[in-house]
Amino acid sequence: ALVPGLARAADSRDDADLVLRCLDEARPVAVVDDVRPRVTLLRLADLVGDRRELTSEGTWARVLAHDAGHGTEYARTVLAWLDAGCDMAGAAKALAVHPNTCRYRLRQAREQVGLDLDDPDERLVLWLEARLAGAGGA
């Protein structure tokens, strides 16, 4: 894209570098507006940088630890549900399971891990922690 002056050249270069990190076989060419959500997540990940305690000690880490210790699939289920816009049918379809299986897993995750999936702030933070940790392709 055309940059309106030298003052914005460095920002434009940063944008271009982030866009390059978003490209893959499915999308070999893009401009920043094409991949803005992914660029925003990459910027957040860069801001977190060495402060990995922001993702390694949060709710997502507790979900992963529970799965590892108990053989559950709460992380996969929670992420599918969040990615489906909190739609049970959409999550079930993505996981190739019955919606009641999703309901059960989410209820168990609430009880065993202490998730409050009714709180929009907790859902957002949980989703961000998952994305910044690399879940779901971020």
Q: In terms of CATH, what superfamily is 54-137?
A: PucR C-terminal helix-turn-helix domain (1.10.10.2840)
Residue range 86-100: mean pLDDT, rounded: 98
**Could you tell me the residue ranges of all domains in the chain?**
6-49, 54-137
| pLDDT 10s digits, 23-73 | 888 888 888 888 888 888 888 777 776 666 655 678 999 999 999 999 999
* Contact indicator for 133, 55 with CB cutoff of 8 Å: yes
Mean pLDDT calculated for residue range 73-88:
96
Secondary element (H or E) of residue 90: helix 88-95
Which of 103 and 8 is assigned the larger pLDDT?
Answer: 103
Calculate the alpha carbon distances from 89 to 72, 95, 136 in Å. Answer: 20, 10, 19
Residue 84 has pLDDT above 80, yes or no: yes
Burial class (CB in 10 A: 0-12, 13-18, 19+), 112: middle
Mean pLDDT over each residue of the chain, to the nearest integer: 87
Decide: helix, strand or coil at residue 80.
helix
